[in-house]
Amino acid sequence: MSFVIRCLDCGHEAPYHPLIINCPQCKSQWRQAIYDYTKAAPILRQELPKRPFDLWRYREVLPVRNPNPGLYLGEGGTPLIRAVNMGMMLGCPGIYIKDERQGPTASFKDRQAALTIAALKEAGITEMVAASTGNVAIAYSAYAARAGIKLWAFVTSLVPAVKMREIALYGSQVVKVTGSYDQVKQIAAEFAHKRGLYHDMGTRTITSVEGMKTIAYEVAEQLTEQLGPPPNTPPGELRWRVPDWYIQSVSGGLGPVGVAKGYREMMAMGLTDRLPGIIAVQSEGCAPMVHAWKDDLEEAIPVTNPKTHIETLATGTPGRSYTLLRKEMKEHGGLFESVTDDEAFRAMHVLAKMEGISAEPAAAVAFAGLFKLIRAGVIKPTDTVVVNCTGHTMPAEPLVLGSGWARNVVLPQAETSAVKTITEEEGLLAALSRVAPDRFPRVAIIDDTPDARRLVRRILQSQGDFTIFEAADGREGLDLVNREHPDLIILDLMMPEMDGFSVLDALKANPDTAEIPVIVSTAKELTLEEKARLQGQIQALMQKGDFMSDEFLEEVKALLR
């Protein structure tokens, strides 16, 4: 089955070759791979169930037909993970995380690199150039190593040193440039041009866009597996589910351009019946697309001096990628949004502490955008949302963690390791008691929903030391409070038999428990009368599904002081 490269400007169609980067007719570099979708659709329907879950299962709509076993690193096929705790916290249960950290080099750039290097290898190319804020060069380096291709990796001097060393470890030549990422791209292009070398051009590279689009296909299949086919699917038809939103942090915009193309192709093949709203989130210190979007401009005004610690997202000149994305978003309700570095670091903590997912700051930008848009009411509680967790190449940087994240134990030096004296044992115990005091603040959680108890427990245990007690109904809760005398009670209102109001009444009637502070957490909108009943009886009211873990913790800590 064949495909053509169609020019976005004049429509001219030409065969694919990685070294031909201009339209032969009008010289435009903006072109797209077009497949025979009528032929591809029935093959995909029939063959997909038999194929492994990786990027190559969509080979009928890829510019490279088959995986080269010599290059294969297990690209694509990353899991789609339901964000249960975060969903509960934000009151939006349909949040799914496309975990691109689980690619071979721990970022979604693997898809771009796998496909591009496969194409270069097929064409007999042995040397290439890429400008990178880190992850592109890491991904290309890994595949280039397997393919026997030399990579010149141009990076800005701001790229974290660990990332640079990883690029070097793979055997690529790191060229460290002091300047902005946009300047680095220019220099890399110049270098490639002078030496006649292939060079990655982001959104203008056919294989890069095609690699990214496989995210859309995978998400469609995975959502369908988890949620079933969309309602109104004709019986016997294969129809995939489309999320209401696809959210990604964005630098040059390659990811969303590819994902949008993927969804358009699935529509063309009758595999889906609609398109998701695409949300591109930028870092506020480098958000040319967001500014242009909010000012309703067709072209983005370059940011020449990015002010963000999140180097991965420092593309100041998005060029035509913005214009292409803007068109997509206007057509099916997507948008651009920005978040601050601090919001991104905060989201990183939430993601790690609530979902067990350690992402790099650039990936966390998408989650910060998610939080912001849920709060703004743009994303609705019933929406299905897929967030691309784009990467995890780095251990947490000091900037993100702040101080006081570890406790040190210094053990007394043993004279001879064979004999343990009493004093050494004492020294060990003393050291350990400095690690944590013997008594922690005691918190009782009274809630009939196990998930809600787990959420509160998780928030407390992930960011402090507490002794936590749980009770599953009002009666049990009262017994617990009388027995354990907690320092703080977190109380649900809606519980069968004995509800939170009755628990409060009983607590206040007993001089032993009347003074214990109470935080009420409730899923229900309270009436004025109910609010009046709580007045003076409780210390704080938290609306379930509408608080962030750190806000809750602040409240708890303030009451325990």
| Two structure tokens written together for 198 | 């292939």
Could you tell me the smallest distance in angstroms from the CB atom of residue 390 to Zn ion? 32
b (16+ CB within 10 A) / e for 130-163: bbbbbbbbbbbbbbbbbbebebbbbbbebbbeeb
Q: Check residue 26 for interaction with Zn ion (CB under 5 A).
A: yes
Q: Which is nearer to Zn ion, 31 or 392 (CB)?
A: 31
Q: Check residue 368 for interaction with ligand PLP (CB under 6 A).
A: no
DSSP one-letter string for 356-372: S----HHHHHHHHHHHH
Could you tell me the smallest distance in angstroms from the CB atom of residue 257 to ligand PLP? 7
Contact range with Zn ion by CB under 5 A, out of 21-29, 175-183, 290-298, 411-419: 21-29
Alpha-carbon span 28 to 488, nearest angstrom:
67
Of the residues 25, 304, 421, 510, which one makes contact with Zn ion according to CB under 5 A: 25
Number of residues that bind ligand PLP (CB under 6 A): 17
Q: What angle do CA 305, 308, 313 make, to 5 degrees?
A: 90
Q: Check residue 201 for interaction with ligand PLP (CB under 6 A).
A: no
User: Which of Zn ion, ligand PLP, none interacts with 28 (beta carbon under 5 to 8 A by kind)?
Assistant: Zn ion
| Two structure tokens written together for 244 | 């209401």
Could you tell me the smallest distance in angstroms from the CB atom of residue 5 to Zn ion? 10
Alpha-carbon span 288 to 305, nearest angstrom:
11
Contact indicator for 513, 487 with CB cutoff of 8 Å:
no
Q: Which is nearer to ligand PLP, 161 or 419 (CB)?
A: 161
Contact indicator for 361, 341 with CB cutoff of 8 Å:
yes
Question: Across 204-299, where does the E strand assignment appear?
Answer: 245-249, 277-283
Three-state DSSP state, 90: helix
Alpha-carbon span 237 to 257, nearest angstrom:
28
Contact range with Zn ion by CB under 5 A, out of 16-24, 57-65, 247-255, 507-515: 16-24
Of the residues 105, 107, 214, 308, which one makes contact with ligand PLP according to CB under 6 A: 107
Q: Check residue 109 for interaction with ligand PLP (CB under 6 A).
A: yes
Q: Phi/psi of residue 350, each to 5°?
A: -60, -45
Q: Which is nearer to ligand PLP, 326 or 453 (CB)?
A: 326
Residues 6+ apart with CB under 8 A from 490: 443, 444, 445, 446, 447, 456, 518, 519, 521, 556
Residue found by looking up tokens 């064979």 in the block: 418
Contact range with Zn ion by CB under 5 A, out of 15-23, 35-43, 189-197, 206-214: 15-23
**361-375 and 341-355 helices cross at what angle (nearest 10)?**
90
User: Which of Zn ion, ligand PLP, none interacts with 282 (beta carbon under 5 to 8 A by kind)?
Assistant: none
Q: List binders of ligand PLP among 232-271 (CB under 6 A).
A: 249-255
User: Which of ligand PLP, Zn ion, none interacts with 226 (beta carbon under 5 to 8 A by kind)?
Assistant: none
User: Which of Zn ion, ligand PLP, none interacts with 12 (beta carbon under 5 to 8 A by kind)?
Assistant: Zn ion
Of the residues 18, 243, 262, 391, which one makes contact with ligand PLP according to CB under 6 A: 391
Q: Which is nearer to ligand PLP, 113 or 456 (CB)?
A: 113
| Two structure tokens written together for 168 | 């070097």
Residues within the interface to Zn ion (CB under 5 A)? 7, 9-10, 12, 23, 25-26, 28
Residues within the interface to ligand PLP (CB under 6 A)? 107, 109, 135, 249-255, 312-313, 360, 362-363, 390-391
